[in-house]
Amino acid sequence: ADVFEFPASMGKVTFPHKKHQEMLKDCKKCHENGPGKIKGFGKDWAHKTCKGCHTELKKGPVGCTDCHKK
Ligand code: HEM
Ligand code: HEM
Ligand code: HEM
């Protein structure tokens, strides 16, 4: 799928995977050990990796409800 949806108690997170692939080019930004399921994926991983990058680049959602939509 081009877009993944991750259900969460805070509200569903919609992740445009294809857009990130095209924009970032480097799969290893997220897939340390190669493409496929990410070991340890979940709340802590996402807040570190997703929110971390958006914060660092000052681009992309960083507020809770910018990612989590009911
Ligand atoms: C998971 C809260 C910000 C993306 C979670 C979970 C909670 C949470 C409680 C676990 C959900 C569950 O157990 O059902 C928050 C709060 C935020 C915040 C309070 C603000 C301080 C963000 C932001 C992003 C994000 C900014 C995106 C850049 C995710 C993702 C998951 C997640 C992808 C994993 C869902 C899964 O494991 O399937 N968040 N979040 N969150 N959050 Fe957040
Ligand atoms: C999942 C490939 C870049 C985040 C996947 C999957 C593949 C893949 C094959 C498994 C899909 C499925 O289960 O149906 C790739 C390739 C990339 C790339 C070839 C580079 C061109 C990225 C980037 C990010 C990312 C840059 C983060 C910004 C994720 C996430 C999942 C995923 C969060 C779901 C992980 C899980 O459910 O455990 N990717 N990806 N990917 N990818 Fe990527
Ligand atoms: C934008 C989610 C990981 C860099 C976005 C957007 C979402 C999102 C929802 C807004 C897309 C739009 O407006 O069309 C996530 C989630 C991540 C993740 C859930 C983890 C699974 C990352 C990582 C990086 C990154 C690791 C950098 C290494 C960016 C950038 C944008 C963006 C640069 C801005 C794109 C633009 O303004 O055109 N992200 N992201 N993201 N993300 Fe992520």
Q: What is the ipTM of this complex?
A: 0.97
> For residues 40 and 33, is the Cβ–Cβ distance under 8 A?
no
DSSP state of 32: T
* Helix residue ranges per DSSP H, 10-42: 17-24
How far apart, in whole angstroms, are the C-alpha atoms of residue 13 and residue 1?
Answer: 15
Ligand 2 center to 18 CA (angstroms): 9
- Residue of the nearest CA to atom 9 in ligand 2? 36
Stated length of the chain: 70
Cα angle 47-59-37, degrees, rounded to a multiple of 5: 40
- Measured by CA distance, the residue closest to atom 17 of ligand 1 is 64
Question: 5-63: per-residue pLDDT in tens?
Answer: 999 999 999 999 999 999 999 999 999 999 999 999 999 999 999 999 999 999 999 99
53 ligand 2 Cβ < 6 A = no
Cβ(19) – ligand 2 distance below 6 Å: no
- How distant is the alpha carbon of residue 35 from its chain centre? 14
Domains defined for the chain, CATH in brackets: 3-69 (3.90.10.10)
